Structure 1
Amino acid sequence: GTPTYRLHDLFHDLACNLLTAAPQPKRTGDLPGLGLDLADAHAAFLEKYRQKTQNNLWHTVPDDGYIHQHLVWHLEKAGQVAEIHSLLREESATGNNAWFEVREKLGQTGGYITDVSRAWKLAEANWNEATLPQVMGWQCRYALITASLNSLAANVPAELLIALVKNNMWTAEQGLAYALQNPDLNKKVKVLAQLVHHLPPNLEKLALSEALTAARSIQSESSRADALRALAQKLPEVLPEALTAARSIQSESSRASALRALAEKLPQMPSARLFPLWQDTIHQLSFRTRPNLLSDIKALFPVIFALGGEVATAEVARAIVDVGRWWK
C-alpha cells in the first residue's frame, strides 16, 4: 500500500505546550510559546478556515483531506457549540441538508452521522428552563435526521450496497455507514456479514462488533440463530451462542433447520470444546417429545460423526431403534 507516516504522541504534547506556554519562558532552555489557551487556539485555527468559506457557510469550505472530518471537533473544543448547530442547519443550493451532501460526496457518511450524534449530545448536556424549548427543537431535529437516514439505508438493497463498495463506487466507510443505519436487525446483520469481506481491517472489526450486537438483540430465536450463524465464518466464537439460540426455537421444523445449518460448521471446533456443547444440547433437547428429539438428532448427525465417527453414529442409531421398540 501507500507508505504513511504518523507523528508520535510526544509531538502532539509538544505542540499543545507551545500553544499554551508563555511567550517569555520562565526557565532557561524552554521554548517560547504563543500564550494561548486551547480554546483560543482552536478558534484561531478555525478562523483560518472560515476565511476560505463562501458567505461564512461551513459547507463551502474547500476539501483538504482534514477539515471536514474534524470540523465539529474543533468547533466543540473552541467552545463554539452554536456553530455546530448552525452547520447542521445549512442548506445547499438545491434545498437539501448541505453538510450531509458534502460529507456523502466525500464518502464520509459515517462521519456525518457522528457529527449529528455529537451535536445531539451537546444539545442535551447543559440545558435549563430557559433553553429547554431550543433544546427540544434540536432533539427532534437530530432524531428526525437520524430516522431519515435509517429510512434511506433501509431502501438500499444489500446486493446493491455490496456492489457499490466492491466496485469502488462507494467508499468502505460510506457502505458501512449505510449498513449500520438499517433499522431491520436481521437485514443489518446479513449485509454486515457480507460487507466485511470488502472492508479494511479497522472497519472490519467495527462491522463485526456492530453485527454481533445487532444479532444478539434479535428477539426471535430462529432469526437470532440464523443471524449468528451468518457471522460464524468470521467469528467462530459465536457458534456456541448460535447453538444455544437454535435449540431454544419452539417450532420443530425451524429448530431442525437451524440445527442442521449449524451442524455443518460445528465440526470445525476442537472436540474438547465441541463435546461440552453437544452434552448441553442433548440434555436441553431431551425435554421435548420423542418425535421432536428424533428430528433434532438427525439434524445434528454431522456433530455426532465429528465427535465419535462411525462407531458413535452406529450407537446412536441402535439407541433410536431400541427405544422405538420399547415405547411405540
Structure 2
Amino acid sequence: MPIRDSENIHTGGGSHIAGSVNTQGGDFVARDKVIINITGGIEQLPTRYESRVQNFLEYYLGSPQHPAPFGGRARDLEALDGWLSDSGNPRYALLAAPAGRGKSALLAHWVHGLSERQERVRTVYFPISIRFNTNLESVVFSSLAARLAHLHGEPVLNTSDVQQYRSLFSEYLRRPLPGGERLLVVLDGLDEAAGWQPAADLFPHEPPEHLRVLAAARLVAGDPEAAGWLACLGWDRPGKACRLPLGQLDHAGVADILAKMGNPLDRLAAKIDMVARLYELSQGDPLLVRLYVEALLPHGEEAAAFSLAQLANVSPGLKAYFDLWFKQQEDVWKIAGETLDEDALDAALNLLALALGPLTPAAMLDLAPQELKNSRSLGKTLRLLGRFVVGEPEGGYVFSHPRLAEYFAGQLPAKEKQAWEQRFLGFGRQTLEALTAGQMRAVDAPPYAVRYYGAHLEKMRAHDKDFYALVCEPWLRAWEAVEGTPSGFLNDVSRAWKRAEAAGAAGIGQQVRALLCFSSVVSLGVNVPSEILVQCLKAGIISPALSLVMARQKPDITERCQCLVELVPHLPPGPRQTALVEAIEIAGNPEFYRGVDTLLAALAPYLPEELFEMAIRLARGIQNDWNRSYALSELAAHLPDQHIFKALEITANTDSEYQRSIAIRSLAPRLPDSLLADALAVTVKIDGESLRAHALAGLAPYLSGSLLSEALEAVKKIGNGSARAAALEALAGRLETPQLDEALKIAGEIE
C-alpha cells in the first residue's frame, strides 16, 4: 500500500540503484554492460530475478551521482586474484568475517573487475541477501541453475520444483564448460539464507579440475576460525578449502575511501588529522567508515548529519555513532517544533531488525498498529531512518546493511525480542486464515507474509500443524499472485513434508497429501491448453504473471511461442512487452516450425515502438519472398506515425507486389502530405495492373493538385478495363473541372 508520506523517502547514500555503475570514473555505460553480463541467463526464468542481483551490484559499486565508499582493499583484491590464478591452491575458499567487515563490497568489486578484464574464467555470482530479496531457496537455486545453463549454451529449465533446480545446479558444476574455460562460483551471504540451510550437498564432494568456488559468510560468536561454516559445507578436511581473511581498514584505507568519493570529501583525504579521527572512530570497521562518510555529505535536500567539529568528542564504535545521530535528530526536531515519536521509532527499528526480507509500509502497520499509528506517522519515521534504510513503498524497506539489523536486534532483551518475533508469526497465520476462509483474495495477500511465513515458522520452531496448514490451494494462489510462480508454494510444501517425515507413522497422511499436491502443481502448466489459459486470464482466474509462467512451462518451443502470442492481446503493458520479446526470440530459433510471417503479423498491432526494429530484423531473415513481404508489410502498417517514412521505405522494398499494394492502401490514411508523392511513386512502379489500380484507389482520397494529375496519367496506362474503372471511380471525387474532362476521356476509352 503506497503511502504519501513515504513516497519520496531518500534511501541513504549509495542506495540509488538505478543509475550507471561507477568505480571512480571510467565508462559507466560499459560497466552497466558488465553487470548485465554477470547476470546473463537469469532473465530467462519464469520469474526474472536478474534485476535484484543487478541492484545489489549497483548498490556496492555505486553510480556516477552517488559513489559508494570503497577503498583500501588492494591487497585483498590481489589475494583473491592469487587464489584464483594459482592451480596449487585449494579449489574451495571461504571468506568469513564479522558482519560489516566489507565482504559483499569486496566481492562485488572483484567479480566486476574479473568480468571487465575478460579473464579466461566464467563467473556464476549470486548474493544471498535479505535486503535485495534474494535469500529464498527458490530464488537462489533457480538463478544459479539458469546462469549455468546460459554458460553451457543450453535452454533454462522451467520448473516449479526447487529440488530440480538444486539437482541441475549440482550437475552443471561437475560438467566442464563448452569453451574449456574455468568456472568460478561466488556465493555471497550464506548466513542470510531464509528457510533453508547451506550444507555439504551444496557443492561436489571432490571438486573437478575446472571448478573454483568462493563462499562468503558472517562469522558467528565463539567461532573466530569459521570451523562451523567449513564443517557445514563439508570443507573441514585439511587441504580441501582455504580460508581467506579480511581485516579492518588501516589509516591508508580510510584515506583511500575519502579520496575516491570525490568532491567535497576527497579534500579530507589530505588532512592527516581528519583521516586519523575517522580511523579512530571507526576502528577500521568498513561499515562505520561508510556511515561516517555518508553522514558528512548532504542528504537529499538536508544538510550533512554531522559536522567535522562534532566528531571531536564522539567515542569509537557503532553505539556511539547512533547515540550521536539520535541526539542530532532530537535537536533538529525541536528546532522545527516537532516531537520525536520514540514508540514509532522503536517499533520500526525492531521490525526492520527482525524481518527476513523487505517490509512494505502496509505490512509494518499490520505488525505494529498501535506503535506506528497510521501511514503519516510511519512515513515520518521512515524518512527519519532514511540514511540506514533502503527500499521504496511498493517493494518494501530493509536496513542498508545486515549488521545494522544485527545491532538493533541485539539491543532487545530476550523476552521483548520473542514478543516481536511472535508478531511475525501472527501476521502470517492471520493472512493464511483469511485466505482459507475466503475473506481475502490471493491478489490482496501481503507479499511479506506469503514469502516469509514459512521461514518464520522454521526460525521459531513452530508446531507441525502450522506447517501442514500451508498445504492448501488458497496458499498456492497467494504465492502465484505474489511471485507469478508456484515455486515458493512448493518450498512450503517441502517444509510440511519434512515435518511429516520426522513425525513417523503419525505423519504418513500429511506426507501423502503433500506428495499429491506437489505432483499436481508441477505438471500444471504443461497440460493446460492455450485456449483455456487465455480464457482464465480474461476471467481473472489467473494473474498475468502466472499466465506467462504457465506458457513458459510448455516443453515444445513452438507451442510455447503460440501460447505467448495468444496471451498478448489480454496482458497489461509490462507483462505484454515481456511476452512480445520472448515470442520474437523464440520465433528466431531454428527449432521454431510454424510461420514466422504469420506470427509477426499477429504481434504487429501490439508492438511498442522499441520492439519494431527487433521484429523487422526477424522478418528480413525470412527466406521465402512472399512470406517475407507479408511480414514486412504488416509491420510497416503498424509502425508508429513518427516512423511512417521508414514504413514507406519498407513497403517500397517489399518483394511481393501484392503485399506492396495492400501496404500502400493501409498506410495511405496516415501519410503526411510530404510523403504522398513518394507513395505515388512506389505505386506506379507496381507491374500488376489490378494491384496498381488497387493501390491507386487507396491513395486517391488523399491526393490533390499535381499529384492527382500524375495519378490520372498512371490510370491512363492501365490496360485492364475493370481495374482502370475502379481507379477512376476512386479519383473522381477529388478531381477539378480540367481533370474531370481528362477522366471522362480516359473512361471513354475503356472497352
Task: Read off the aligned partner of 1:234 and give its amino acid letter.
Answer: Y
Measured in 2, the distance between the counterparts of 1:275 and 1:104 equals 50
Instruction: Give the alignment partner of residue 232 of structure 1, picking from 588, 604, 614.
Output: 604
- Larger Rg belongs to: 2
Of the two structures, which has the highest relative contact order with CA contacts closer than 8 Å and spacing of 6 or more?
A: 2
Which residue does the alignment assign to 1:132? none
| Aligned pairs for 1:59-208 within 5 A | 60=432, 62-63=434-435, 68-71=446-449, 98=471, 101-106=473-478, 108-109=480-481, 111=483, 113=485, 116=488, 151-199=523-571, 203-208=572-577
Is 2:682 the partner of 1:312? yes
Determine whether 1:302 maps to 2:659: no
Matches within 5 A, 1:236-275: 237=609, 238-250=611-623, 252=624, 255-269=625-639, 270-275=643-648
Q: Cα deviations across residues 30-59 of structure 1 (Å, max 9, x unaligned)?
A: 6234284665332666531424777xxx99
Residues 103 and 111 in structure 1, CA contact (< 8 A), matched pair in contact too: no
Aligned partners of 2:551 and 2:563 also within 8 Å: yes
Q: Say whether the 8 Å CA contact 1:110–1:174 is kept in structure 2.
A: no
Change (3 A) 1:9 1:213: same
Give the drift of 1:174: 4.1
More displaced stretch, 65-74 vs 237-246: 65-74
Structure 1: distance between partners of 2:540 and 2:351? 39
**Contact 1:260/1:299 (CA < 8 Å) preserved in 2?**
yes
Residue 111 of structure 1 deviates from its aligned partner by 1.7
Matched-pair contact (CA < 8 Å) for 2:569–2:606: no
Task: Return the structure number with greater strand share.
Answer: 2
Deviates more, 1:264-273 or 1:158-167: 264-273
CA contact (8 A) 1:185 1:214 kept: no
Distance 1:39 1:275, change over 3 A: same
Q: Supply the distance in 2 between the matched residues of 1:208 and 1:49 (Cα, whole angstroms).
A: 36
Specify every segment of 5 or more residues in structure 2 that has no aligned partner in the other structure, as ranges: 13-318, 334-339, 357-416, 492-516, 668-675, 690-751
**Count of aligned positions:** 253
Q: Is the 8 A contact 1:151 1:182 kept in 2?
A: no
Identity, in percent, stands at 19
**Distance in 2 between the 1:180 and 1:159 partners?**
15
**Offset at residue 317 of structure 1 (A):** 0.9
Counterpart residue number, 1:26: 327
Greater helix content: 1
Name 1:141's counterpart in structure 2: none
User: Which segment is superposed worse, 166-175 or 205-214?
Assistant: 166-175
CA contact (8 A) 1:72 1:115 kept: no
1:48 counterpart = 2:423: yes
Report if aligned partners of 1:53, 1:62 keep a CA contact under 8 Å in 2. no
Task: Mark the CA change 1:7 to 1:230 in structure 2 (over 3 Å): closer, same or farther.
Answer: farther
Distance 1:191 1:112, change over 3 A: closer
State the 1:107 CA deviation.
7.7
Q: 1:109 to 1:276 in 2, by over 3 A?
A: same
Per the TM alignment, residue 266 of structure 1 is displaced from its structure 2 partner at its CA by: 1.9
Q: Structure 1's 206 and 303: CA in aligned 2 closer, same or farther, altered over 3 A?
A: same
**2:632 touches 2:650 (CA, 8 Å); kept in 1?**
no
Distance 1:68 1:5, change over 3 A: closer
Query: What's the TM-score once normalised by structure 2's chain length?
Result: 0.27
Q: Does structure 2 conserve the Cα–Cα contact (< 8 Å) formed by 1:225 and 1:243?
A: no
Determine helix, strand or coil for the equivalent of 1:165: helix
RMSD of aligned Cα (Å): 5.1
For residues 271-314 of structure 1, what are the alpha-carbon distances to aligned partners after superposition, in whole Å with 9 as ceiling and x for unaligned? 411244346x56xxxxxxxxxx6xx4444333466575565344
Equivalent-residue separation in structure 1 for 2:483 and 2:620 (angstroms): 40
Ranges in structure 1 where 5+ consecutive residues have no aligned partner: 15-19, 120-144, 283-292, 320-328
2:154 equivalent in structure 1: none
The residue number in structure 1 matching 2:585 is 216
SS at match of 2:541: coil
Instruction: State the 1:10 CA deviation.
Output: 5.3
Q: 1:256 to 1:107 in 2, by over 3 A?
A: farther
- Deviation for aligned residue 1:226: 3.8
In 2, Cα distance between the equivalents of 1:193 and 1:186? 11
Distance 2:573 2:519 in 1: 25
Report the residue type matching 2:573 in the other structure. E
Normalising by structure 1, report the TM-score.
Answer: 0.54
Q: 1:239-296 CA deviation, whole Å, 9 max, x = no partner?
A: 444343233223x3xx5235325424523445411244346x56xxxxxxxxxx6xx4
In structure 2, the CA distance between the partners of 1:197 and 1:271, relative to structure 1 (3 Å rule), is: closer
Between the aligned partners of 2:685 and 2:427, the Cα distance in structure 1 is: 79
Superposed CA deviations along residues 146-178 of structure 1, whole A, max 9, x for unmatched, are 998674223212221222232333344543443
